Amino acid sequence: MKILRIILFLLILNTFVMLGVLFSQPTGKVIQQDKEYANITKIIDGDTIEILLDNITQKVRMLGINTPEKNEKDWEKAKNFLEQFENKTVELVRSKEDKDKYNRKLRYIFYNNAFLNKEILENGWAHFYSYSEDKYTEELKKAEGRARENRIGIWESSKEDCGGCIFLIELNEIDPGEYIILGNNCSFDCNLTGWKISDDSSSHTQKLNFSIFSGGGYRIDYNGSVWNDNGDSLYLRDREGGLALFYRY
């Protein structure tokens, strides 16, 4: 009986070994770890850095955030915040995608117990911007929400006379034929020349050059895809970058 038990044990052990071999061979790939540690060598802007990893300089696009472009309101603040971590070792956490179309690594960045992506959102130096949802999505959305409620950073309200006048009548995100219609609910005309409309990616920012009469509306037509069918945000900012209108769908 003892010999039979030993034989049975060896057969089971051999089966597990063979299964391990079979399931490890088809791809021949080593599973990539979700965490890496690297030294920050340069801050490019508020959401993009350079790191030294395995003696190779690489660019990293921080996940979950989109900071203002150069010379826009508060664009320097996120960059200045990140500069304190230059020449320091940080933890890089990967989500679902490894790199973007520009060959930049997509990562969340931690230094000791500080979640840098989250801190930038909490201070109002960026809006939430997601490639795909993951375990950090809700945490980052809440961080943006706190900054938005406190109207700090990029969420600071417009101080221009027309800052509280403009509202969204309609946004059609279906392409072809995308358009938005803005209205003016104040008792005076509003000249929006120099104001800007942008979406979440900021890649389609449009500088305005028109007025809206009191009680009237104005339609902006788009050629090509600008507004994401699966969800996007509209930001209308005055000449100083103050937020006059925000709409998310």
The whole-number pLDDT of residue 3 equals: 54
Q: What DSSP state is assigned to residue 179?
A: E
Question: Do 157-248 and 35-154 have the same topology in CATH?
Answer: no
pLDDT at 176 over 50: yes
Q: What is the DSSP letter of 69?
A: P
Summarised one tens digit per residue, pLDDT across range 178-215 is 999 999 999 999 999 999 999 999 889 999 999 999 99
Tokens matching residue 44: 């490019």
Is residue 15 over pLDDT 80? no
Instruction: Give the pLDDT of residue 45.
Output: 96
Confidence at residue 203, expressed as pLDDT on a 0 to 100 scale? 86
Total Cβ atoms within 10 A of residue 190 = 23
Q: What angle do CA 90, 201, 43 make, to 5 degrees?
A: 30
Instruction: Name, in order, each residue with C-beta under 8 angstroms of 23's C-beta and a sequence gap of 6 or more.
Output: none
pLDDT for 19:
38
pLDDT (average), residues 59-72? 95
Q: What percent of the chain has pLDDT over 70?
A: 87
Q: What is the domain partition of the chain in residue ranges?
A: 35-154, 157-248
Structure tokens at 171: 């946004």
Q: How far apart are CA 226 and CA 204, in angstroms?
A: 6
Residue 66 in tokens: 């989109």
Greater model confidence, 54 or 26: 54
> Cα dist. 140→149, 213, 223 in Å?
14, 39, 32
Asked whether the CA dihedral 135, 43, 128, 206 is positive or negative, the reply is: negative
Tens of pLDDT, residue by residue over 78-119, are: 999 999 999 999 999 999 999 999 999 999 999 998 999 999
pLDDT value, residue 26: 29
pTM, two decimal places: 0.83
Per residue in 234-248, pLDDT tens?
Answer: 999 999 999 999 999
* CATH code at 157-248: 2.60.40.1260
Query: In the chain, what is the straight-line distance between the N-terminal and C-terminal CA atoms, in Å?
Result: 70
Provide the pLDDT confidence category of residue 17 given band limits of 50, 70 and 90: very low
Cα distance between residue 208 and residue 249, in whole Å: 22
pLDDT at 224: 87
With 0-12 CB in 10 A as exposed, 13-18 as middle and 19+ as buried, what is 146? middle
Whose structure tokens read 């998310």? 248
Q: Is the per-residue pLDDT at 16 higher than 80?
A: no
Does pLDDT of 30 surpass 70? no
pLDDT digits (tens, 9 = 90+) for 136-161: 999 999 999 999 999 999 999 999 99
Mean pLDDT value across the chain: 89
As a whole number of angstroms, the distance between CA 195 and CA 92 comes to 37
* Domain 35-154 coded CATH 2.40.50.90: yes
